[in-house]
Amino acid sequence: MLDHIMDKITDLTEEERRKIYTARFTFQSKQAVSYSELADIMRKIPLRDEIRIFLESENEDTFMMNRNSTEAEYREFMGEILEDEVISAKIEINKTLSAGYFSIYRFHKFAEDIVRLPMDEVLKIFAMLLDEAENSIVFEMFDNANAFYTKTMYFLPTGNNETSCSFDRKQRLSECRDTSYLYNQDVYALLPDDFKIEVGYEGNPFKELFFRLETVLAASMVASNAMLQEGQIKLQIVGQRSIDYAFKIDDVEGNRVLYKIYDWIYSGGSSIDKAIIARNIICLHCKYEPLLKVDTKILASIQSNYNLYLKDNVTQYLEMRNKVAEFISDIMSRTGEYATDLLDKFKTNIIAVFGFLFSVILANIVSDQPLDNIFTRDITIILELVLVGSVGYLLICYKQSKFQMEKVYDSYEKLKKSYEGILTEDDVRECFQDDSLLNDMKQTVSKAEKKYLFLWIAFLLIFFVIIEKISEAPIVFPIVKEVAGKWRVIH
């Protein structure tokens, strides 16, 4: 940034603190830095940042230059300076985070400022930056060609700003808040992933600091409850017993296993179930050992116990699905029985009608005075009343069948609804075959009901017509003929 004027300036000192970069230097008025050279410095600064250059003569005359200053204004100031005077200059850049980008003009100065701070202050600084950036942030470095990055923070040389952040930070924060409780999570809205260096380089001044911050946050997310306050971290792990830990944050050493446990908990599957198992194992193994000393044996034990848990769950899951299948099969079977029940009642009705007719014929045969035509007026009335009773019986049977079907369908829907809170939506759809069996059965039952009703009604009509035809004293036909005759006369 200042390379092109290094041969003209002396006493250069630079500082960079979080959101402010400052450079101080002097130059001789007889070999002054030109307006165009100062303008070149300003052009190198992104528009998101505010830059001002302050010049002061030995006589304490001052000039402040910004992006809107003109060359004429600069010449006017320099015109009043004597040739042998030394001019003091200060460049001040106020940095602003914009569209996920943040400038770093002197990386090692920036790193020195961050590293010397207490770790809880460092956490607050990055929490504020990431909160403004939302999902990820790119630190654009103007003097460092070495890139490194975590899952959410990219430290890249200027001009190399291509990133592909696939990590959903908001979703992970939400999962962590559902699974563990960080007392002041609004202040420290951070994840271990924010500091887990994915790609780095040798000599990175942030390497050790980020490793320790990663460990602090991983421990907080593995614990049931955590609190960061006054330079201390307090943890409580509630498993088969409750264990409390307290550490000074600045004394924490990095532990890669803690991050692996955290990452395992929140990467796939139920994070709550995984956290419960992890905490139970940690309570057993870390009764007398500090949490920050967990090793790979504990991680292996956690994963083994989770696999056993999954095996038990799979067995229960398969048993549950088998029960669902049995219940659905039972419902389909009962539905089919209710449909054929209507046919059975139709058969029973036919047998009853013909049984009554046969008894009338048999009574006439064995009578001392058999009739030439047994279908007298009285017999005709009785038979037609039997047919009317058959119609009533038909309606009752149909209503009963409908009621039984509705009860079966209701129990099916209740069963389905009860499993919606246990199984996933896809599992419910698969278990109940997207209701295809029920819909097919409804269509089959509907067709069967229509067919049986048609046969029953057709039988009643045919039998009624036969009785009226062969009866010596028909009841209905004469009335019909009389009404038809009157209608023809009227029309």
CA distance 292 to 223: 12
Phi-psi region of 433 (alpha: psi -120 to 50; beta: other; left: phi over 0): left
pLDDT tens-digit profile, the chain (491 residues): 788 889 999 999 999 998 999 999 999 988 899 999 999 999 999 999 999 999 999 988 899 999 999 999 999 999 888 888 999 999 999 999 998 999 999 999 999 999 999 999 999 999 999 999 878 999 999 998 899 999 999 999 998 777 777 888 899 999 999 999 888 888 889 999 999 999 999 999 999 999 999 999 999 999 999 998 888 999 988 887 888 888 899 998 999 999 999 999 998 888 998 999 898 888 877 766 677 888 888 888 888 888 777 767 656 666 666 777 777 777 767 666 666 766 677 677 777 767 766 776 666 665 655 555 566 677 777 777 877 877 787 788 778 777 777 877 787 777 777 776 666 676 677 777 777 777 777 787 778 777 877 877 887 788 778 777 777 767 777 776 776 667 776 76
Question: What's the pLDDT at 414?
Answer: 78
| pLDDT score, position 360 | 66
Query: In what side-by-side order are the strands of the sheet with 232-238?
Result: 181-182, 225-229, 232-238, 242-248
Number of C-beta neighbours around residue 429 at 10 A? 13
Structure tokens at 340: 């054929």
Written as one string, the DSSP assignment of 280-330 is HHHHHHSSSS-GGG--HHHHHHHHHHHHHHHHHHHHHHHHHHHHHHHHHHH
Q: Which residues contact 340 (CB under 8 A, 6 or more apart)?
A: 448
**What one-character-per-residue DSSP string does 63-111 give?**
EEE-TT--HHHHHHHHHTS-TT-EEEEEEEEE---BTTEEEESSHHHHH
Cβ neighbors of 386 (< 8 A, separation 6 or more) are 353, 356
Q: Is 272 helix (H, G, I), strand (E, B) or coil?
A: helix
Beta bridge partners of 190: none
CA nearest to 469, candidates 458, 480, 453, 485: 480
**What residue segments make up the domains of the chain, in order of their start?**
3-94, 101-294, 313-490
Amino acid letter for position 484: A
CB 412 within 8 Å of CB 406 = no
Q: Calculate the alpha carbon distances from 207 to 111, 123, 128, 438 in Å.
A: 11, 15, 21, 62
434 Rama class: left (phi>0) / alpha (psi -120 to 50) / beta: left
